[in-house]
């Protein structure tokens, strides 16, 4: 009997607690920047696509909802000819972001993606690409990697010596 009354009392006290639920969508909850919602493709600090079409996100994806095709710009820079995410399959696990070696693919705190037509949940590169660096300012893969691209020759990446001339007679 005592425990019954105590339970009733505790529940009664809840009337005076702060409310945990909010009036969504009129009010919106705070979501941390690392929240795993809608996926975007970011650009590097120079405004170029960060994605180098390495296929690591596609292979990491447990539901296989990412498909892309590597292309190559004149000069050797890799980029995705198309990049498609089928959000009707995506489980927002964030493995793709983890796998991405260039910080191109990032999950954002946006989850409001409901559609009446499933086809509208297929996002192509134009839908995914944003014009900023996202969560990782300053990083540019091609400045680190040894592959030469227009504007960054051999020997100009991080920690690189100038190109060696194999025909020189000096040791």
| Closest among 28, 35, 43, 134 to 80, alpha carbons compared | 43
**Residue ranges in 101-160 that form contacts with another protein under rule CB under 8 A:** 101-102, 118-119, 122, 124, 141, 144-147, 154-155, 157-160
Q: Write down the least CB distance from residue 72 to another protein, Å.
A: 7
**Residue ranges in 12-31 that form contacts with another protein under rule CB under 8 A:** none
Residue 36 Ramachandran class (φ > 0 left, ψ -120 to 50 alpha, else beta): beta
Q: Write down the least CB distance from residue 95 to another protein, Å.
A: 12
Give the binding-site size for another protein (rule: CB under 8 A).
Answer: 49
Q: Could you tell me the maximum CA-CA distance found in the chain, to the nearest angstrom? A: 99
Q: Which of 72, 98, 110, 115 binds another protein (CB under 8 A)?
A: 72
Q: Write down the least CB distance from residue 19 to another protein, Å.
A: 40
Residue 75 interacts with another protein (CB under 8 A): yes or no: no
Determine the Cα–Cα distance for residues 34 and 101; give it in Å rounded to an integer.
17
Residue 72, beta-bridge partner list: 78
Q: Which of 28, 34, 46, 64 binds another protein (CB under 8 A)?
A: 64
Q: How far is CA 161 from the centre of its chain?
A: 32
Determine the Cα–Cα distance for residues 80 and 88; give it in Å rounded to an integer.
21
Q: Which residue has tokens 């009036």?
A: 23
Tokens linked to 57: 């996100």
Q: Which is nearer to another protein, 109 or 157 (CB)?
A: 157
Residues forming the site for another protein (CB under 8 A): 52-56, 58-59, 61, 63-70, 72, 78, 82, 84-86, 88-89, 101-102, 118-119, 122, 124, 141, 144-147, 154-155, 157-164, 166-168, 171
């Amino acid at each position: 009997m005592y425990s019954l009354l105590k339970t009733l009392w505790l529940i009664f006290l809840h009337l005076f607690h702060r409310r945990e639920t909010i009036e969504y969508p009129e009010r919106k909850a705070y979501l941390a920047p690392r929240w795993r919602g809608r996926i975007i493709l970011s650009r590097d600090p120079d405004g170029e696509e960060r994605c180098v079409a390495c296929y690591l996100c596609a292979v990491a994806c447990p539901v296989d909802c990412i498909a892309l095709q590597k292309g190559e710009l004149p000069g050797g820079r890799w980029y995705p000819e198309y990049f498609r995410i089928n959000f009707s399959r995506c489980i927002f696990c964030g493995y793709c972001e983890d796998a991405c070696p260039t910080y191109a693919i990032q999950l954002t705190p946006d989850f409001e993606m409901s559609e009446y037509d499933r086809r509208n949940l297929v996002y192509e590169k134009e839908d995914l690409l944003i014009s900023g660096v996202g969560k990782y300012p300053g990083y540019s893969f091609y400045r680190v990697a040894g592959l030469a691209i227009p504007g960054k020759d051999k020997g100009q990446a991080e920690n690189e010596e100038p190109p060696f001339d194999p025909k020189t007679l000096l040791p």
